[in-house]
Structure 1
Amino acid sequence: MEEALQKAEREREFHNEWARSIHIDSLLVRESFESPTAIENQYALAQLGDLRGKRVLDLGCGAGENAVYLALQGAEVSACDIAEEFLKVAETLAKKFNVNLRLARAEVGNLPYADGHFDFVFGNGVLHHVDLKATAREVARVLKSAGKAVFIEPLPYNPVINLYRHMAKGVRTQDEKPLTFKQIREFGGFFSSLRHEEFWLFSLAIFGHFYFVRRWNPSKVRYWKKVIEEGAAYADMFRRLQRWDHFFLKYAPFLKPLCWNTVLVVQK
């Protein structure tokens, strides 16, 4: 218990510090789903379907870009995060886009919502920071019957990405760990169904361009944000690389573990 509390406090402090450094005009709301390189978010959004009038929880909402976009699609969005400074940013962002977010500071393993309250739960890069079993129980609890949850998460198997992670310690927490397929299966065991789709194989060459050509220090620049911010500039390169990804992931599925990210979809 003591160790879990210490981990939660480290996560809170790290993300509060990050939130204090954010300029509201730097946040990418529409781009996070509409950039040519935002393929995981686009896929995740398609799994949710029509959001108009639906109750959606953005789990670990961070600065609120995803929550605001979901609200722009007509959803009734609640958003929670462990870091109170992130919630302040999310509140300001919601005002900028003239949408309403129901914000709450909460740990994802102890959510302040009623049983069966949400049609959908969405999370981007949250599960690899938290206790998976506690989170799975809470997500299952707050979902309506047949409700669906979609999460975008990193995988741990690609040695090139692991080298990047080693170099990017300044923009990562000490406790975060990418999800293994075993952990994903265990998480899915709390639901009636689980499926997942992998993304970014050869497309990761863009990260190489960031490092070797743009000379961006991975310990100071968050590549996973830059790839959205620079999406238009890299659109042609990305489309060409995506053709390779589509071909090899279809005909050589044993390569899927080498992808950067996975999108997992569970249903209650």
Structure 2
Amino acid sequence: MKTVEQRLKDEQEFHNKIFETDKRHNEVGRFYAINKSVHKVYHRFIYNESQNKVYLEYGCGMDKGNRSTRLSKMGAKVHGIDISDYAIDHLAKEAKKENLEIDYQVMNAEDMTFPDNYFDVIYGTGILHHLDLEKAFDSISKKLKKNGTAIFIEPLGHNPLINGFRNRTPDIRTDDEHPLLVPDFKLAKAYFKQVDIEYFYLTTLGVPLLFKKNPPKSLINFSNAIDKGIFTLLPFMRKYAWQVVVKFSNPN
């Protein structure tokens, strides 16, 4: 079993490479072309009434500063952390060029050093499933204000077809990744009084298989509507979704 130090070192090296190259996008970019609906829900929450709020982008390297930059220009106080020192160095330089006061730091997301009860919103995409969830939930719950909310886009780990694809593409993921499972959301309830989950993408995942480039928006929208109906009428199918938007509120 890896030590914590080795796991963090491996994650740092992996994310440095991801930030420097387009390998991951080249491998799976066509699947991410369908996920506008999940980001629409995510962005609606993040950008709503952002002025004067204190934000943390939790794992800011993957977005390359786009959300943090927008929030800062909207009047929010923005912090960003990532395990990738390469990403933080790049983002800090970009913020300085634009005269934006964004605080970027290399930091262990499982043991954040910010003051307790500090953030109105903590947000991230594809970060929790790289972490020790007990440590991450504990750290997030402490740093959120009592009326604050943490919101994340994360992959689920129940769909055998998706898991089969993951097993065939080990070079674009780390050994320690663990897409979220139902027990992980139950664990979150030990740290947050409210856990809200919205599910995305089941039949829609077939669209990139049919159209490797520029899939028709009408077909994506139609498939999203089918998925929404499936998740509403057949709740047991929700865990087979590809992604979720999960909100953690009212920290214990």
**What's the TM-score once normalised by structure 1's chain length?**
0.81
Could you say which residue in structure 1 is the equivalent of 2:27? none
Q: Deviations over 1:206-265 (max 9, x none)?
A: 23235xx56xxxxxxxxxxxxxxx5xx542221111121122111122211110011111
Paired residues of 2:200 and 2:228 also in contact (CA < 8 A)? no
In 2, distance between residues paired with 1:53 and 1:36? 33
Q: 4+ runs of 1 displaced by more than 6 Å?
A: none
AA in 2 matched with 1:193:
Q
Could you say which residue in structure 2 is the equivalent of 1:203? 204
Q: Cα–Cα, structure 1 residues 115 and 39, in superposed 2: closer, same or farther, change >3 Å?
A: same
Q: Deviations over 1:78-123 (max 9, x none)?
A: 0000110111232355457664321000001111211111111001
Displacement of 1:41 after TM fit? 2.2
Could you say which residue in structure 1 is the equivalent of 2:16? 16
Could you say which residue in structure 1 is the equivalent of 2:104? 103
Could you say which residue in structure 2 is the equivalent of 1:140? 141
- 1:30-45 map, 5 Å: 37-45=35-43
Could you say which residue in structure 1 is the equivalent of 2:126? 125
- 1:64-79 map, 5 Å: 64-79=65-80
AA in 1 matched with 2:151:
V
1:248 paired to 2:249: no
In 2, distance between residues paired with 1:138 and 1:200? 30
In 1, distance between residues paired with 2:206 and 2:93? 35
Paired residues of 2:68 and 2:80 also in contact (CA < 8 A)? yes
Paired residues of 1:64 and 1:87 also in contact (CA < 8 A)? no
In 1, distance between residues paired with 2:190 and 2:74? 30
Displacement of 1:179 after TM fit? 0.7
AA in 2 matched with 1:10:
D
Q: Deviations over 1:130-163 (max 9, x none)?
A: 1111111111111111111111111011122112
In 2, distance between residues paired with 1:83 and 1:257? 31
Displacement of 1:46 after TM fit? 2.9
Could you say which residue in structure 2 is the equivalent of 1:46? 44
The CA RMSD over aligned residues, in Å, is: 2.5
Displacement of 1:36 after TM fit? 7.4
Q: Cα–Cα, structure 1 residues 97 and 203, in superposed 2: closer, same or farther, change >3 Å?
A: farther
AA in 1 matched with 2:115:
A
Paired residues of 2:34 and 2:204 also in contact (CA < 8 A)? no
AA in 2 matched with 1:16:
N
Q: Deviations over 1:32-62 (max 9, x none)?
A: 9xx8742222212333431112100011111
Give structure 1 stretches of 5+ with no counterpart.
23-31, 215-229
AA in 2 matched with 1:38:
K
- 1:148-159 map, 5 Å: 148-159=149-160
Displacement of 1:17 after TM fit? 1.8
Displacement of 1:73 after TM fit? 4.0
In 1, distance between residues paired with 2:13 and 2:169? 18
Displacement of 1:169 after TM fit? 1.5
Q: Cα–Cα, structure 1 residues 161 and 70, in superposed 2: closer, same or farther, change >3 Å?
A: farther
Percent sequence identity is 27
In 2, distance between residues paired with 1:109 and 1:201? 31
AA in 2 matched with 1:56:
Y
Paired residues of 2:126 and 2:153 also in contact (CA < 8 A)? yes
In 2, distance between residues paired with 1:167 and 1:79? 32
Secondary structure of 1:179's match? coil
AA in 2 matched with 1:237:
L
In 2, distance between residues paired with 1:203 and 1:93? 36
Could you say which residue in structure 2 is the equivalent of 1:55? 54
